[in-house]
Amino acid sequence: MSTTAGAIALVCRFDAQEWAEWLPALTAALPGETLVRAEDDHDPAAVEIAIVANPPAGALRRYPRLRLVQSLWAGVDKLLADPTIPTDLPIVRMVDPAMNAAMAETALWAVLTLHRGFHVYARQQRDSRWQPHAQRSADAVHVGVLGQGQMGGEVSRQLRTLGYRVTGWRRGEPLGPVLADSEILVNLLPLTPDTRGLLDTARLRQLPRGAALVNLARGAQVVDADLLAALDDGHLSHAVLDVFHQEPLPADHRYWSHPAVTVLPHVAAQTDARSAARVVAQNLAAWRRGEALAHQVDRRAGY
Ligand code: GLV
């Protein structure tokens, strides 16, 4: 296939089902653009924009005239860790209201589950055990939300609507008081050098005894051995984990069978093809007009 100058390469780790969703959505949202899948035959020198979804390191090296990278993922930690991507190449992360809404759904489900003990009732059902537990009202439950950006902000707002006592934490603020107060801690921070390994023994043990952790951000922000130790000795009552150091989570990992862990396969907020394709189209149109890019990654901040 030959391509004209200014082509857009789709460098996406998609399976057939995902391509069946994404290709029509992007094609419809970007009329008049030349879209090529990285795995299809094309002239790399004609590619000016890459739309990427979790690409393997080094995947963009073949495009000598690349001028813009648009991520379909909200988290860009892997792109920033790829030493083959020039540091002056603009990268735009996905900010999509549909994704924020999906993240809020997952966070609300997790907080409601942990607060009302629905995970405990699921365990009891397996043992045919009829055992009601005391019910607390949401306005007595303290929830900490790490990260107050697009997703953390939306999650905090929706939790407050349900009546929870929410404390949001932003980079640069003291973390200790938030941890000490959080019966349920929801992590929505971007993975950066500052947040890697953030949730270690020292910080997990600042949570009140019996607290629960909900990690919907990145696995590398949690020190697994420290979390498991805190769950094993009962300092923490439960963890809902959507993200892991290694994904898929290896079959022999203790999280799978731990009674105090709920494992999700990185599905807290999947990118919605139709809505995200419109976001991409708006971003690319703005870029072609020479306007400033919304949600361009700040390499110094790390997201
Ligand atoms: C998913 O984790 C994303 O970053 O979009």
User: If you measure from the C-alpha of residue 138 to the centroid of ligand 1, how many angstroms do you get, rounded to a whole number?
Assistant: 29
Question: Which atom of ligand 1 is closest in space to residue 76's alpha carbon?
Answer: 4
pLDDT on residue 275: 96
Q: Is 266 a catalytic residue?
A: yes
Q: Decide whether any atom of ligand 1 lies within 6 Å of the 74 Cβ.
A: yes
Q: Is 218 a catalytic residue?
A: yes
pLDDT on residue 5: 53
Q: Is the peptide bond before 248 cis (omega within 30 degrees of 0)?
A: yes
SS3 string, the chain, reads CCCCCCEEEEEECCCHHHHHHHHHHHHHHCCCCCEEECCCCCCHHHEEEEEEECCCCCCCCCCCCCCEEEECCCCCHHHHCCCCCCCCCCEECCCCHHHHHHHHHHHHHHHHHHHHCHHHHHHHHHCCCCCCCCCCCHHHCEEEEECCCHHHHHHHHHHHHCCCEEEEECCCCCCHHHHHHCCEEEECCCCCCCCCCCECHHHHCCCCCCEEEEECCCHHHECHHHHHHHHHCCCEEEEEECCCCCCCCCCCCHHHHCCCEEECCCCCCCCCHHHHHHHHHHHHHHHHCCCCCCCECCCCCCC
pLDDT on residue 2: 45
Q: Which two tokens stand for residue 163?
A: 């009546």
Are 143 and 166 in contact by the 8 Å Cβ rule? The answer is yes
Are 109 and 269 in contact by the 8 Å Cβ rule? The answer is no
Q: Decide whether any atom of ligand 1 lies within 6 Å of the 75 Cβ.
A: yes
User: If you measure from the C-alpha of residue 197 to the centroid of ligand 1, how many angstroms do you get, rounded to a whole number?
Assistant: 18
Ligand 1, from 271, 275, 280, 303: best to mutate by most atoms within 8 Å of Cβ? Answer: 271
- Catalytic hit among 142, 160, 203, 266: 266
β-pair partners for 214: 186, 240
* CA dist 13 → 10, 43, 156, 218 (Å): 9, 20, 31, 18
Q: Decide whether any atom of ligand 1 lies within 6 Å of the 73 Cβ.
A: yes
Task: Render each residue's pLDDT in the chain as its tens digit; 303 residues.
Answer: 444 459 999 999 999 999 999 999 999 999 999 999 999 999 999 999 999 999 999 999 999 999 999 999 999 999 999 999 999 999 999 999 999 999 999 999 999 999 999 999 999 999 999 999 999 999 999 999 999 999 999 999 999 999 999 999 999 999 999 999 999 999 999 999 999 999 999 999 999 999 999 999 999 999 999 999 999 999 999 999 999 999 999 999 999 999 999 999 999 999 999 999 999 999 999 999 999 999 999 999 999
Domains in the chain and their CATH numbers? 7-96+271-288 (3.40.50.720), 97-263 (3.40.50.720)
Rounded to an integer, what distance in angstroms lies between the CA atom of residue 75 and that of residue 218?
9
Are 60 and 27 in contact by the 8 Å Cβ rule? The answer is no
pLDDT on residue 1: 47
Question: Which atom of ligand 1 is closest in space to residue 99's alpha carbon?
Answer: 5
**Closest alpha carbon to 214 in 158, 269, 268:** 268
- Catalytic hit among 42, 218, 278, 295: 218
Q: Which two tokens stand for residue 195?
A: 């947040």
- Residue closest via CA to ligand 1's atom 5 equals 73
pTM check: above 0.75: yes
- Residue closest via CA to ligand 1's atom 4 equals 75
